[in-house]
Chains A and B, each alone.
Chain A
Amino acid sequence: MSGGTFVGMPAFPEAAHEAVGNTTLRANLRHATHTIRDKRARAVAELDDWAELRAAGRRVKDHTLRHLDRYLVQLEESVVRAGGTVHWAADADEANRIVTDLVKATGESEVVKVKSMATQEIGLNEALEAEGIHAYETDLAELIVQLGRDRPSHILVPAIHRNRGEIRDIFAKEMAGWGRPAPEGLTDTPAELAEAARLHLREKFLRAKVGISGANFMVAETGTLVVVESEGNGRMCLTLPETLISVVGIEKLVPTWRDLEVFLQTLPRSSTAERMNPYTSMWTGTTDSDTADGPSTFHLVLLDNGRTDTLADEVGRQALRCIRCSACLNVCPVYERAGGHAYGSVYPGPIGAILSPQLRGTQSEIDASLPYASSLCGACYEVCPVAIDIPEVLVHLRERVVQGGEATRHGTKVMLKPAKGHAAERAAMRAAGLVFARPGALRAGQRLASRTRRLHPRTLPGPGRAWSATRELPKVPAEPFRDWWQRTQGARSKGKGNDA
C-alpha cells in the first residue's frame, strides 16, 4: 500500500524512541536539515527587507482569514467565470468521494499527481486505489516514497530520511511493478537516479488524461491557482492531461495577484533557499482551444477538513497562515532527532505539532502528545516567514490537553474533557502550586530536602525515571539560598514577608 496510513499511531515519545536509536536515519536527517538551514539563512540574509516581508505575509494572511467567507465566494465566482467547476468538501471522505466520482466520470483508471499535501492529508491515493484507480506521484521525492511503500517524512523533501543508496535499491526493486523498470546496472549517482525517474515518469505523463494537484495559492480576484516547484513535473501534470482536478485547503487563498508578490519571495527562500522557484505555474479555469496547453475540464475541490474549526480558535488560528515552506522543520532540534514519521501526520515538525491536533482534535493518543513534542526553544518561530508563534500555540494546545475547555468541532462549540493520563501530573502541579503559594511551605520542603540529602536516590520513581535514566540528578545543597541569606544578610532585608 502506498502512502501508508497515519491512524492508530502511537504517541510521539514512543514513535520517536525508535527514530532516536536509528543512527542512519539520524545521520540522514541531520545532514539534510543542517545543509538546508544554513542555505536558508544565507538566502534570507540577502534581503534587507526580510522583516517587512515577513510582517506583510502575516498581515495578508490574517486579513484573508478574517474575511475568508467573503473571499471564498469571490474565488468561486472567478473560477466559474473562467470555465471551472467548484466543489466544497467538508471533510476527507467527502473530498475523496468527489474526486473519485470525477475521475470515474472520465472513464480513466490512471491519474498523474502533482505533489500535494492536501491530497495526502485526506488519503486520496488510497481512496482512489480502493475504486480501482491508480494514482502516480510524479514529484521525485514523492515517487521514492510511493515506490518504497513508505510515508513522507518532510513537507518539502518527503524522502529526506533516505540516502542515495537506499533510493537506488528502491528504484531497482520497485519501478518494474509500477511501469517502466529501472535501467540495468543502475548506480547511486544523482544523475543516473534522476534519469531513471525521468524515463519512468515520462511514460506516465504522455499517457495520462487526468491530472490531480493541490495549489500553493489561490487568487480570489481572478480564480487563478498557483503551484511552485523545483522539478517541472508538476507543470507537466498541469498542462498535459485533459482533465485537471485540484484539491486545495480553503486557507490557501489570497485576495489579489498583488499579494503573491510577498509570498513568491518568502516561500522559495524559506523552503529551498532559492531566490525564486524554478517553476511557477499558474492556471485560471479551462483552456478553450484545442491547440493550447492546459486542461479542457477543470475542477476545484475546496477542502475544509477541520480548518473552519481551527479558524474559530483565537490563539490557534494563526497556524492557518502556514505556507508550508518547511523552514520550521529544518531548524527544529526535535524533528532532527525524531524524524517526520513520529508526528503521525503528513504535517510533521513544529507546524505538524500545532496543525494536526487542531485539524483532527486532541482526542487520540498521538494528537494529545504532539503539543509536547517540543522543548519550546523558539527556533521555529524565528524562521517562520509568516511569523506563526508556534511555541505560543503549543502551550495553548497543552492547556487543552491537560485541562480541557472550549473548542470547535465540526462547526459547533464543544466542551472538551481533559485527556486521559494526566491525573498524576495535574496532582503534582497542584501540589507544587500549594507549596509555591506559601513561602513557608517552600522553605520547609527545602530544609527537609537538605537534611535528607544523603538519602536521595540516584534514580527517580514514576515519570521522573526517564530523566534519571540518562542524566545524573543534581545534588541537593546543604543549605538553600534563602537560609544562607537569612543567616548572613537577614538584617538587611526590607522586602515583603521577610519573616517567612
Chain B
Amino acid sequence: MRVALFLTCVNDTLYPDTGRAVVKLLTRLGVEVDFPMAQTCCGQAHYNTGYRHQAEPLARHFSDVFGSDAYDAIVTPSGSCGAMVRELYPRMGERARAEGRGDGLARTLAPVVPKTYELTEFLVDVLGVTDVGAYYPHKVTYHPTCHGLRSLGLGERPTRLLRAVKGLELVELPGAEECCGFGGTFAVKNSDVSAAMGTDKVRHAESTGADVLCAADNSCLMHISGTAARLRTAVRPVHIAEILASTEEEPLS
C-alpha cells in the first residue's frame, strides 16, 4: 500500500510534528508513505471565505499533485481539509458546470475525491485496524471537530482508536459536539463570539480533569491551544496522530 501524505499548509508550516507522527505511524503499520513536495493548500480558506474562483486553481493544483495512479490513497490528518476535497471539490465542479464552463473542472478533480481519507478513517476503514500499538499514559478527552464530525461523519473511529491505546484513559468531553469557534476567517471576523466559544470549549475540557485535549484537526487545535494558553489552563491540546504514533520505546515527549 502506497499513500500520499496530504499534510495541509497549516500542518506543514506550523505543526510539522503532526506530519512526522503520521509518517512514523503509517510506516509502523507497513504503509509506504510519500510526501509529494509540490503540494501546497487545498483552497479551503479561499472557498469558505467566498473566493471560490481563487480556490479553483488550488484545487486543480491539488489534483495535479495527488491524482497520480502511483498512490492507492491520499491521507490527511485534517478533517476539514479532507472534507474540502471530498465534499466541496465535487460541488466546485458542479458550480462550474452550472456557470456554463463545462465539465473540465469536475473531470480534473474527480480522481482525487474518492481516494482522499482523513487519517482515522484510513486507519479504521482501509487498513482495518483499531489497535495501532500505541502507548500513551495520560488522561485524554476528545473533541470531534465539526468537519470531521458532520461533513466526513468520522463517528466513533477516533475514539475507538484512542480506547485501544495502552495506558490511555479516555474521558468524555461535555458539549463535545459543539464547535470550538475557530471556523477559519470566522475567528478574525467575529472575534468576540469566536473567543467566547473557544473559552467554553477549554473550560469544558478543564472540567474533565484530563491532561490532554485531543482532536484530529490542527486548525481547531491552534484556536483551542491559543485560548488555553491565554486562560493558563493545564489542559494540553495534542493532535490524535501524535498520540497514535507514541510507543513505549519512543514515547511522545
Contacts and interface: CB of A to CB of B under 8 A. Distances in A.
B226 to A, nearest CB: 3
A474 B196 contact: no
Nearest to B179: A377
A481 B19 contact: yes
30 contacts: A13-B192, A17-B192, A333-B179, A333-B181, A338-B193, A374-B183, A375-B190, A376-B184, A377-B150, A379-B179, A395-B48, A402-B49, A402-B51, A429-B45, A430-B54, A432-B45, A435-B40, A436-B9, A436-B41, A467-B187, A470-B191, A472-B229, A479-B16, A481-B16, A489-B23, A489-B35, A492-B34, A495-B37, A496-B38, A500-B38
Contacts of B35: 481-482, 485, 489, 493, 495
B191 A472 contact: no
Interface string B67-102: 010100000000000000000000100000010000
Interface of B: 4, 7, 9, 11-17, 19-20, 23, 34-41, 43, 45-54, 57-58, 61, 64-65, 68, 70, 91, 98, 146-147, 149-151, 177-179, 181-198, 222-223, 225-227, 229-230
Contacts of A17: 192
B218 to A, nearest CB: 9
Given A16-B193, A474-B14, A482-B12, A496 B65 contact: yes
Nearest to B16: A481
A494 B222 contact: no
Nearest to A373: B190
A470 B183 CA distance: 15
Interface string A344-384: 00000000000000000000000000011111111101100
Contacts of A392: 91
Contacts of A499: 37
Contacts of A446: 12-13
Interface of A: 12-13, 16-17, 20-21, 26, 314, 333-334, 337-338, 371-379, 381-382, 392, 395, 397-403, 425-426, 429-430, 432-433, 435-439, 442, 446, 449, 463-464, 466-467, 469-474, 476-477, 479-482, 484-486, 489, 492-500
Given A374-B183, A433-B54, A484 B37 contact: no
A472 B13 contact: no
Nearest to A422: B50
A339 to B, nearest CB: 10
Nearest to B22: A481
A493 to B, nearest CB: 6
Q: Identify the interface centre among A373, A375, A499: most chain B CB within 10 Å of its CB.
A: A375
A449 B37 contact: no
A472 B70 CA distance: 41
Given A399-B51, A433-B54, A474-B14, A439 B40 contact: yes
Contact of A495 (B4, B40, B98, B188): B4
Given A402-B49, A439-B37, A439-B39, A378 B192 contact: no
Contacts of A463: 188-189
A45 to B, nearest CB: 15
A12 B191 CA distance: 11
B190 A334 contact: yes
Contact of A476 (B14, B23, B146, B230): B14
B84 to A, nearest CB: 11
A376 B65 contact: no
